[in-house]
Chain A
Amino acid sequence: MSAGPATTAPALNMGGRRLPPWVATTALLLPAYGWLMIAIFLPLGAMFLFSFMTATPIGTKEIGYTFDQYKIFFTQPYMWQVASWTFQIAFATTLICAVTGFLAALALARSGLGRSQWVFLILILLPFWTNGLVRIFSWTMVIREGGFLDAVVQFILPEAASVGFLYSRPAIVLGLVHGYLPYMVLTCYIAISTIDDAIVEAAESLGARWWTILGRILIPMAAPGLIAGSVLIFVPVVGAFMEPRILGGPQGVTLGTVIEDSFTQGFNWPQGAALSFMLLAVVLAIFATFSGVLRRNAEL
């Protein structure tokens, strides 16, 4: 036993004063979840309570509790129209995003771009992290009467009438597609890039043409990405209010703007709370339906 590393063993025993592990765990978690409790979950609970009130509890007004706020779709049939517009806009936005976003993801993953893939991907994702309000605002510069689009059209056809379509539902859809398309590109890209080249090559070696490869291999295998992207777009879009306001003008009445109005203009908070909760129910139903796909996608 020659000169091994010396055999000191200083007293390391620090005695038995150890805190149980749950103390540290709680200390680490409490700030974050306490904060979320105060700022997210308690407010949602408070709003749920509000949605049963007869009036906004201001001053000394007598407040009763009622289900009436949830009957708005029966007392104001106009609301059916609003809901229908909202869902039409949401479906159109999601569908357009799905088609263009899937094709973009396909082009990104399978165009042999090599390292420049990342440049393209970052260029596509970058606007997504900028202010949504500013981007919606920027469209008004383009599609208003006498805006950039008109200027381009009239440069080519000097006699053409204005093609500006600001303050219309197509304008709302355009703005929403612009805002949420990067989501779809990202989820589809993640799904497609996990498809092994060898699978496509195997199909080609078996005589499949490109439409067979697209329909039988790429779309089915990218389906989780398509579904995840669709959910992540549909949900915020049904709750949108700023986009319809700015791009829809008087045409832009949606569930979102009605809720906004009942909180900021009409001061009918119980009504807004009830509508918010019905919207939340729709959102939660969507998440519940697709939770399996979303979870699998998150693991990718």
Chain B
Amino acid sequence: MSDVKLTGIAKSYGGSPVLTDITVDFPSGSFTSLLGPSGSGKTTLLRIIAGFITPEAGQVTIGGEDVTRIPVWARNIGMVFQSYALFPHMNVRDNVAFGLGRRGVKGAEAKRRVDEALEMVRLPGFAERLPKQLSGGQQQRVAMARAIVTGPKVLLLDEPLSALDRRLRQEMQVELLSLQREIGVTTIFVTHDQEEALTLSDQVAILDRGRIVQMGAPAAIYERPATRFAAEFLGDANFFAGLVEGGAITVAAHRISAPGLPEGREVTLAVRPEKISLDATHENQVRAKVLNAIYAGANLTYLMEGPGGQRLKVFAQNSDGVILPNGAEVTLSWPAAHTILVEG
């Protein structure tokens, strides 16, 4: 078991920075998601950890050993690629045994470990097939088996589930998680799917334009996003901006308060759509007009026009079968405790 530490990593292409001063700790045995939109640098970061890219500045250590200058083939990592990258001219056994062979494990010992790994990904009996004879989900499992069979110090996953359809993806998420728990390998997972990041990870790192804007446990990030970007990228959010006077801001004659507001400063507050109720039970209250109701069976999404013509999004449970008509005027309210102060 090894932890992975990045210190002050920087990388640029053609003068424009892709990663700036990245310092992160991936504890031993943890499952971390790198979450961000395309172009945020998450894949570059993963490839730096793998050793495909040498950073311009900073240090990568795996299990306490500085590997910054060590090439990828000597780092003892396991990696699963977006396309799986199974060798099309080798059967499943040869694919899985490839890394063992590079480490001098041959013959009966190699066979035993390949079979064991295929057992773990629930593909026993597929050893003699060629990759093109397997389904997408099965190829994905072979790629997993190939990456873990050598007992790597760290497992790197580059959007490995994005090629699968929704149902299979959810199934594979569960399997991936239980497999990771079973072998306990430090895992770093790149994704742009926020739901996937929340379900799988011990911790999530949100990247934006080459910087880690927030890192923490999924619930902590969701409930307390530090920046407007984090609030929007992970889940939905409504924003209010204003000057803090007397512990609250004023938006078109409505006062909105939140814990710990700095007096006399311009601030941005965020509220999750599901924290808002369609009545006046909480302390922060605004009047709003229904623009559109989107019906989705178990729940409803209202698009509303709030104070000052601001657009608001509200999630409601479909508990009483009532759908507010377009144009209806309602009072919305939410607790001050769920109003989050975010950076611009």
User: Is there a contact between chains A and B in the complex with CB atoms less than 8 Å apart?
Assistant: yes
- Mark A residues whose CB is within 8 Å of B: 1-10, 12-14, 16, 18
Closest B residue to A2 by CB, please name it.
B182
Q: Are A1 and B113 in contact (CB under 8 A)?
A: no
Q: Are A4 and B103 in contact (CB under 8 A)?
A: no
- Mark B residues whose CB is within 8 Å of A: 69-71, 73-76, 103-105, 113, 116-117, 120, 148-151, 153, 182-185
Q: Are B76 and A12 in contact (CB under 8 A)?
A: yes
Q: Are A5 and B117 in contact (CB under 8 A)?
A: yes
**8 Å CB contact of B183 from A1, A13, A16:** A1
A-B contact pairs, 21 of them (CB 8 A): A1-B183, A1-B184, A2-B182, A4-B120, A4-B151, A4-B182, A4-B183, A4-B184, A4-B185, A5-B120, A5-B183, A6-B113, A6-B151, A7-B151, A8-B150, A9-B151, A12-B75, A12-B76, A13-B70, A14-B74, A16-B69
> In the assembled complex, which residues on chain A have CB atoms less than 8 Å from the CB atom of B75?
12
**8 Å CB contact of B71 from A1, A5, A18:** A18
**A4-B183, A9-B151, A12-B103 known, 12 other contacts, Cβ within 8 Å:** A1-B184, A4-B120, A4-B148, A4-B151, A4-B184, A4-B185, A5-B183, A6-B113, A6-B151, A7-B151, A8-B150, A14-B74
Q: Are B74 and A13 in contact (CB under 8 A)?
A: yes
Q: How far is the CA of A1 from the CA of B120 in the complex (A)?
A: 13
> In the assembled complex, which residues on chain A have CB atoms less than 8 Å from the CB atom of B103?
8, 10, 12
**8 Å CB contact of A5 from B69, B70, B74, B149:** B149
Q: Are A12 and B74 in contact (CB under 8 A)?
A: yes
6 tightest Cβ-Cβ pairs between the two chains A and B = A4-B183, A7-B151, A12-B74, A5-B149, A1-B184, A13-B74
> In the assembled complex, which residues on chain B have CB atoms less than 8 Å from the CB atom of A8?
103, 105, 150-151
Q: How far is the CA of A16 from the CA of B70 in the complex (A)?
A: 8
> In the assembled complex, which residues on chain A have CB atoms less than 8 Å from the CB atom of B74?
12-14
Q: Are B151 and A5 in contact (CB under 8 A)?
A: yes
Q: How far is the CA of A8 from the CA of B74 in the complex (A)?
A: 13
> In the assembled complex, which residues on chain A have CB atoms less than 8 Å from the CB atom of B69?
16
**8 Å CB contact of A3 from B73, B105, B116:** B116
Q: How far is the CA of A9 from the CA of B152 in the complex (A)?
A: 8
Distance in Å: Cβ of B186 to nearest Cβ of chain A: 12
> In the assembled complex, which residues on chain B have CB atoms less than 8 Å from the CB atom of A4?
120, 148, 151, 182-185
**8 Å CB contact of B76 from A1, A5, A9, A18:** A9
Q: How far is the CA of A8 from the CA of B100 in the complex (A)?
A: 10
